[in-house]
Chain A
Amino acid sequence: MTSSTTTKPAAGAMLPRRRRFGAETIFRWLTTGAGTAVLVIIVAIATFLIAEAVPALRDNKENFFTYKEWFTGPADRKFGIAALAFGTVLSATIALLLAVPVALGIALFLSHYAPRRISTTLGFLIDLLAAVPSIVFGLWGRDYLVDPVKDLSAWLNEYMGWLPLFGGDGPFGKSVLLGSIVLAIMVLPIITSLSREVFMQTPKANEEAALALGATKWEMIRTSVLPYGRPGIIAAVLLGLGRALGETIALAMTLGTTFVISFNLVETGGNSIAANIANKFGEADDFGRGALIASGLVLFTITLIVNMTARAIVYRRREFR
């Protein structure tokens, strides 16, 4: 039969031909586009913030970086972030000073002290803390935590008032201390979860070597767990810092909204870039919005640098493994 030779497929003909605009290509471009969207968004954020901030900065009658007050009404257009930036850094720093030791303690507790079986559940409790919306923390801080903090402030003022940090005559209440404590509670779960992961990865051999040499549990942690986890701890703290710098609503509700540069923690006062945006936005006209966007641009730049540093540390570490 001669027909059989014509119907016999040539070798390889069953394989699909690779088409230039086939489903595979389209799908790959689709995913590439979605991935690139992230880069586009970050660039767009910077571009649009700059574009809207520049007109307001041009009309600003004072130096944006050294002026402390914030007036954007039609009468006087002068604003500066000196006091706001200071307040942001101050409250974030105090928050981290409070949160980091506790967070590292919790991370060690979950990774090395708590019984294995309940450690996940206890860790889940800490994750729940991260899930509570910041507006709820703000409300709780303003209406409930304010009283104990007032007591504490009065006590610190009475017995340690010779320190500028706790000086002044009051009134106490909506102060940097209150804002920082609320902030500390909010960044706690972030620092905890990352450092806990790092602590869990400590090589068993290192730990056992320390214990075999007769180290107590704490000496084992100090000599094997903490040194191994140091880059991770630094990254975790930086991520917490990034979160603390950008927190808005909780601080808008718990800080006293003043425009001064002062290290006093207990007197009514304190402010931050993000809280100021939330407080001033309602009454802002077009110029005022531009001014707030300018301050947002500063915040974006600071948090971007902090976050990139943190991630770079995490990434370099990942390559070593």
Chain B
Amino acid sequence: MMVSLTARRLPRFAPLAIGAGAVAVAAGLSFGLGLGGPVMTGILAALLFVAALFGTAWRVEGSRAARNRVASALIYGAFVLAVIPLVSVMFTVVDKGWARLDGTFFGTSMNNISAFDAHGGAYHAIIGTLEQVGIAVLITVPLGILGAVYIVEYGRGKLASWIRFFVDVMTGIPSIVAGLFILAFWVMVVSPMFSADGAPTLSGFAASLALSVLMLPTVVRSTEEMLRLVPNELREGSYALGIPKWKTITKIVLPTAGPGIVTGVMLAIARAAGETAPVMLVAGVNSAIAFNPFESQSSLSYYVFDQATDSSKYAEPRAWAGALTLVAIVLTLTVVAKLLARRSKLSR
């Protein structure tokens, strides 16, 4: 008599068949009985699928295998669930943003645009974003790289570990708090010293400072990681040739880590360009083109918020066009940064 040594298994097509069945039953239930729309169908189908899979597997393969199957289904499902909002956001932004993405949008500002005007653009906001992020980069890149050099190359003892710890903590500071800090510090205390009438001034530069607070920890962290990847042999070789430590760092270590540092800076830029809250607090309101960062400036992310909360029927298409531009900038930066990172010679 033949005894099978392997446990009974469901055929390979079983999960697929159960899935198709679940979708069909869910669609029938939700549309036929009028329980709800496509969202309810999806939820119902997922529940049915898991229940049916568990039941079938339990009967054929036993309880342990059934639990294994359900866990796998849930884990795959979690990934699919996360991709849905990504796809939906991308699709909505492109779909709704396309309408107003024209020459007027990129070439004009919102100066003298009333609620009844269909045109109007984001030129001033794009300039604001570029200048504010640019100044923030000028501030954070030297500071961040030097800070990371301290942590990796010079820092010993308590101070270094405190700094390392607080760099990590600082990455979690909410952007609105950074904005309030610059409001309380720069706008209310420092800027009156520079203005003619002693009144606090809101300016694009203040926004740059707030963005710097947010970018600094990101730049320090990514640079630190890159510096740690530079092989010690390079440093030792340089010391052996009698080159002082600071020259070793500036001529050997930093150039080697260079591409990685650029990646980190680009990711920080992408994050800063998308920030709305701090800009909204300290940059002031300006619907005209302003090249001077020490005046009130708009920014692309604030422009989206401003247009989205405007009651004019022409404002919403502008908001979506702004959102599309912003997403395009941020995602391009992110993708290029990640591709650069992949090509970097230093790999973990």
Interface residues of A (CB under 8 A from B): 15-16, 23-24, 27-28, 30-39, 41-42, 44-45, 48-49, 51-52, 101-106, 108-110, 113-114, 122, 124-129, 131-140, 142-145, 148, 151-152, 155, 185, 188, 192, 216-219, 221, 239, 242-243, 245-249, 253, 274, 277-278, 281, 289, 292-293, 296, 299-300, 303-304, 306-308, 310-311, 314-315
Q: Could you tell me the distance in whole angstroms from the C-beta of A319 to the nearest C-beta in chain B?
A: 11
Tell me whether B175 and A248 are in contact (CB under 8 A): yes
Q: Smallest CB-CB separation from A186: which chain B residue?
A: B85
- Asked whether B130 is an interface residue with its Cβ less than 8 Å from the other chain, the reply is no
Tell me whether A243 and B172 are in contact (CB under 8 A): yes
- Per DSSP, are chain B's interface residues mostly helix, strand or loop, or mixed? helix
User: For B71, B82, B213, B274, which residue has the most chain A Cβ atoms within 10 angstroms?
Assistant: B82
Interface residues of B (CB under 8 A from A): 35-37, 39-40, 43, 64-65, 67-68, 71-72, 74-79, 81-83, 85-86, 88-89, 92-93, 96, 142-147, 149-151, 153-155, 159-160, 162-163, 165-178, 180-181, 183-185, 188-189, 213, 216-217, 220, 242, 244-247, 249-250, 270-271, 273-277, 280-281, 301, 304-305, 308-309, 316, 319-320, 323, 326-327, 330-331, 334-335, 338
A145 to B39, CA, bound (A): 11
Name the contact of B245 in the complex, choosing from A24, A106, A110, A249 (C-beta under 8 A).
A24
Q: Smallest CB-CB separation from B74: which chain A residue?
A: A105
A221 to B242, CA, bound (A): 52
A23 to B244, CA, bound (A): 9
Tell me whether A151 and B40 are in contact (CB under 8 A): yes
Q: Smallest CB-CB separation from A296: which chain B residue?
A: B180
A37 to B220, CA, bound (A): 11
Tell me whether B143 and A34 are in contact (CB under 8 A): yes
A74 to B250, CA, bound (A): 57
Q: Could you tell me the distance in whole angstroms from the C-beta of B58 to the nearest C-beta in chain A?
A: 13
Contacts beyond the supplied A32-B154, A39-B166, A218-B68: 18 A-B pairs with Cβ under 8 Å:
A28-B154, A34-B142, A37-B147, A38-B166, A105-B79, A127-B338, A131-B334, A132-B274, A135-B304, A143-B96, A148-B39, A219-B68, A243-B172, A246-B172, A300-B174, A304-B169, A304-B173, A307-B172
A127 to B200, CA, bound (A): 39
User: For B78, B162, B213, B326, which residue has the most chain A Cβ atoms within 10 angstroms?
Assistant: B78
**Chain B residue contacts of A300, Cβ below 8 A:** 173-174, 177
Tell me whether B183 and A289 are in contact (CB under 8 A): yes
Tell me whether B92 and A151 are in contact (CB under 8 A): no
Q: Could you tell me the distance in whole angstroms from the C-beta of A105 to the nearest C-beta in chain B?
A: 3
A58 to B339, CA, bound (A): 53
Known contacts A35-B155, A37-B143: A296-B176 contact under CB 8 Å: yes
Name the contact of B244 in the complex, choosing from A24, A155, A310 (C-beta under 8 A).
A24
The 24 sampled A-B contact pairs (Cβ below 8 Å) are: A34-B143, A35-B159, A37-B143, A38-B163, A39-B162, A41-B216, A45-B213, A48-B184, A102-B82, A109-B75, A125-B83, A128-B331, A132-B327, A132-B331, A133-B274, A134-B274, A135-B326, A144-B92, A185-B85, A188-B82, A246-B176, A249-B277, A253-B305, A253-B309
Name the contact of A101 in the complex, choosing from B35, B78, B155, B305 (C-beta under 8 A).
B78
A122 to B76, CA, bound (A): 12
**Chain B residue contacts of A304, Cβ below 8 A:** 169, 173
A308 to B176, CA, bound (A): 19
Q: Could you tell me the distance in whole angstroms from the C-beta of A167 to the nearest C-beta in chain B?
A: 19
A306 to B171, CA, bound (A): 12
- In the A-B complex, the 4 residue pairs with the closest CB atoms: A246-B174, A105-B78, A133-B274, A34-B146
Q: Smallest CB-CB separation from A140: which chain B residue?
A: B89
Q: Smallest CB-CB separation from B250: which chain A residue?
A: A27
Tell me whether A34 and B150 are in contact (CB under 8 A): yes
Tell me whether B78 and A102 are in contact (CB under 8 A): yes
A143 to B83, CA, bound (A): 19
A23 to B305, CA, bound (A): 49
Tell me whether B176 and A248 are in contact (CB under 8 A): yes
Tell me whether A45 and B177 are in contact (CB under 8 A): yes
Q: Could you tell me the distance in whole angstroms from the C-beta of B217 to the nearest C-beta in chain A?
A: 7
